[in-house]
Amino acid sequence: MSKSNSYSLNRRREGMKKYIIGYIVYVLVIWSYFLFAYPLDSFVNSNFASLSHAMFFTTIPLDWLLLLAVIKHQRTKDRFSFSGSQSQSVLWYGTKLFGLYVLITFPFDFSWYEVMKQYGISQQSYLDWFMDYGISNLLYFLGLMFIIVAALQFIKRLPKMWWLALWFLSIPIALFLVYVQPIWIDPLYNDFQPMEETPLKQDILQLVSEANIEDVTLLQMDKSSETTTFNAYVNGIFGNARIVVWDTTLQGMKEDEILFILAHEIAHYVKHHVLVGVIGYLLMSFVILWLLAVLFRKWWGSREHKAPTDVRAIPYLLLITSFLLFVFQPVSMWVSREMETSADQYAIEHTEELQPAADSYRRLAVQSQSDISPVWWIKWLRFSHPTISERIQMVEREIERRD
């Protein structure tokens, strides 16, 4: 190795040491703040929500550090040589990169699983957790490789407009996933059964009928083997409505509380929020992909190896994408909160007795040990729903108005 190459290698190693030391200091500051200084507001005597915030901010830079390390490492070599075709080279490179990602993130994922068990949030067995973890990573890997291969092919064939071609590809993928995920992917993780014939089901069907929803499928999901928290959701578009209630919700909440929650979920379908979400996702993807192309052209184009389909371009593309997704996350969270607020208002308007509504929010917060009134920047980065305190206040204002 020449003296110049040795000097360059040493400089990059020193640079990575600074990044790692900076990350360690960052983690110490984050955990110190959330454990000792964060103004947690909760209905229960638990710091679980603070730990959740701390873990969220701890893991955010992991992708960036990994990709920066890969970028700096591959710059120390004059070239990367791979045997086989371009697609085989991409597969080999992507598999190696994803393996490093799993190696780095696994300790954080597993430690958080242990924390959730300790606080009584999770009761999933180790075997089930590892199976879900493996399925999630496999699906993530397959999706990521598909996008990488497509992106490099578009860059090769459409050097200036590849980002637009990739965006057009995302349209059928998004619509496809809206239909496929509930039917094929979700059952990989959980068992779904038709909702049992009970008076509660008839009351739910009455809500569905009043909302003029046809051909709705009512399902209950087995989550009691995994968690103690409550939830319900709706998915499907274009007449493909599926309302899913966790069995923990059916077992742990009162009937009036469940009906209010279901009125909220029905509102998402009535107001076409799933379709609106898909459209919003496509609009944001358009902007993100355009910015990705601009930043990639400036950053990668400044390298001495300018071939845009070089596999060494992959970490550059992923790093820029990851950063842009983080930057746009507050926008995504805000849109989601607006839709959730609209659904809350619908549920309030279609509920006669509102005290169970307020009780349902309290019960949700107690069971999940959540932060009911987070500071503003936590809310903007993490909360896809209005805070529990905001939702309770909305109900209480309506109760006062009716009185």
* Residue 265 annotated as catalytic: yes
Select which of 265, 349, 390, 396 is catalytic. Answer: 265
264 appears as a binding residue in the annotation? yes
CB 316 within 8 A of CB 360: no
β-bridge mates for residue 221, sequence order: 192, 246
Q: Is the dihedral of CA 69, 75, 76, 81 positive or negative?
A: positive
- Please give the structure tokens belonging to residue 153: 């092919």
Angstrom distance (rounded) from CA 98 to CA 104: 10
Angstrom distance (rounded) from CA 147 to CA 382: 26
Longest dimension (CA), the chain: 84
- Please give the structure tokens belonging to residue 280: 């919003």
Q: What 3-state class would DSSP assign to 81? A: coil
Amino acid making up residue 4? S
CB 245 within 8 A of CB 219: yes
255 appears as a binding residue in the annotation? no
Phi, psi of 212 (to 5 degrees): 60, 40
340 appears as a binding residue in the annotation? yes
| Token pair 């430690």: residue | 111
The continuous run of DSSP H or E covering 242 comes out as strand 242-246
Angstrom distance (rounded) from CA 156 to CA 306: 12
* Residue 344 annotated as catalytic: yes
C-alpha dist (Å) from residue 294 to 160, 245, 291, 324, 375: 10, 44, 5, 12, 34
Select which of 247, 256, 344, 371 is catalytic. Answer: 344
Residue 21 class from Cβ within 10 Å (0-12 exposed, 13-18 middle, 19+ buried)? exposed
Q: Where are the alpha helices (DSSP H) in 119-211?
A: 126-157, 162-180, 199-210
CB 316 within 8 A of CB 299: yes
- Please give the structure tokens belonging to residue 34: 């959330």
- Please give the structure tokens belonging to residue 341: 């607020």
Sequence-ordered list of residues with C-beta below 8 angstroms from that of 144, at least 6 positions apart, any chain: 94, 98
Binding site, by residue number, is 264, 268, 340
| Catalytic site positions | 265, 344
Binding site for Zn(2+), by residue number, is 264, 268, 340
